[in-house]
Amino acid sequence: MRQEIINLYDAYTHEHLDRRRFMSQLVQLLGSTAAAAAAIRALEPNPAAAQTVPADDARLQADHVEIVSETGLRGYLVRPVESAGDLPAIVVIHENRGLNPYVEDVARRAALEGFLVLAPDFLSPMGGTPSDPDKAREMIGELDQQATIQNAVAAVRFLRTHEDGNGKVGVIGFCWGGALANQTAVHDPELDAAVAFYGRQPSAEEAARIRAPLMLHYAGLDERINAGIADYEAALNSAGVEYMLYMYEGVNHAFHNHTSADRYDRDAAELAWSRTMEFLKEKLGG
């Protein structure tokens, strides 16, 4: 798919471009309403393709849990059935579409690597993630930022004190969740590790507060997010924060999300995931 179409779609899904203007520009680029509709189908996530690990996989135990927080928070908790000793723990933070089948699948993948995993639904205070991704994005935009950050810290605290955990907790975030993973590192000085996939960066003042080691994954074609990398690196270096930064050339924002066929890049996704699992096992144990 032409890069200008992918960029336009990203502007619609991340920069508050209204749908009428988005559709008008897409039709202009493609020449017809039918072609525009086909492009949207190729770019939008396909929930039917989400499961790489079945929800009823016998190797895993999965539950929906309540997390104590100021606003009320629910989440998807999953762990391996057969495990020796206490487990290192991970909070998986969703994109701006909420807690959907893709994110739950990511949680199961991490659990199969030997982690206790919690995927919170940050739209819980608004009734939970809807099935319509456009509605979910609208709801995400209405969340109180500071309350949401505190909910992320509460999710980390839930795992830090969980009876099945070893007391060490990391976070992984994607897109909107990548930004929140960065902010969790800013606001929780006890966090043990954070991984941000193509996430918006904190300010230099915020970065100076980070104590957790970081792993940062970026997409080479993601000009919107990449514009903040240089300042973030400078702030991390100035503060002496331990971090690893990987740039995946020639791939788009959301390259890890296998449910979006025209943005997913298998090679980059698998490499980033293997690096993430190795990093978190090193920092959290397991």
Per-residue pLDDT of 121-173, as tens digits, reads 999 999 999 999 889 989 999 999 999 999 999 999 999 999 999 999 999 99
93 in the same domain as 10: no
Q: What is the count of structural domains for the chain?
A: 2
Question: Please, which pLDDT band fits residue 19 given cuts at 50, 70 and 90?
Answer: confident
Q: Hey, is 2 helix, strand or coil?
A: coil
- The terminus-to-terminus CA distance of the chain in angstroms comes to 41
Q: What is the 3-state secondary structure (H, E, C) of 71-136?
A: CCEEEEEEEECCCCCCEEEEEEECCCCCCCHHHHHHHHHHHHCCCEEEEEECCHHHCCCCCCHHHH
Domain assignment present for 75: yes
Domain assignment present for 83: yes
Domain assignment present for 52: no
pLDDT score at 20: 82
134 in the same domain as 28: no
Q: What is the 3-state secondary structure (H, E, C) of 161-176?
A: CCCCEEEEEEEEEECH
Sorted by sequence, the CB contacts under 8 Å of residue 36 that are 6+ apart come out as 23, 26, 27, 29, 30
88 in the same domain as 26: no
247 in the same domain as 105: yes
Please say if the pLDDT value at position 114 is more than 80. Answer: yes
Domain assignment present for 51: no
Residue 40: both structure tokens together: 């949207």
Q: Do the beta carbons of residue 93 and residue 173 sit within 8 Å?
A: yes
Domain assignment present for 53: no
37 in the same domain as 116: no
User: What is the CATH number for 132?
Assistant: 3.40.50.1820
Please say if the pLDDT value at position 50 is more than 90. Answer: no
122 in the same domain as 25: no
The length of the chain in residues reads 286
- Tell me what the mean pLDDT of segment 90-109 comes to: 97
157 in the same domain as 70: yes
134 in the same domain as 265: yes
pLDDT score at 180: 98
Please say if the pLDDT value at position 16 is more than 90. Answer: no
Domain assignment present for 25: yes
Domain range for 210 = 58-284
Domain assignment present for 49: no
Question: Please, which pLDDT band fits residue 80 given cuts at 50, 70 and 90?
Answer: very high
Strand partners, 195: 172, 215
Please state, rounded to an integer, the average pLDDT across all residues of the chain: 93
Q: Do the beta carbons of residue 221 and residue 3 sit within 8 Å?
A: yes
Kindly tell me the burial class for residue 121, based on how many C-beta atoms sit within 10 Å of its own C-beta (0-12, 13-18, 19 or more): buried
225 in the same domain as 148: yes
Kindly tell me the burial class for residue 18, based on how many C-beta atoms sit within 10 Å of its own C-beta (0-12, 13-18, 19 or more): exposed
pTM: 0.90
120 in the same domain as 79: yes
Question: Please, which pLDDT band fits residue 118 given cuts at 50, 70 and 90?
Answer: very high
Domain assignment present for 108: yes
240 in the same domain as 156: yes
104 in the same domain as 193: yes
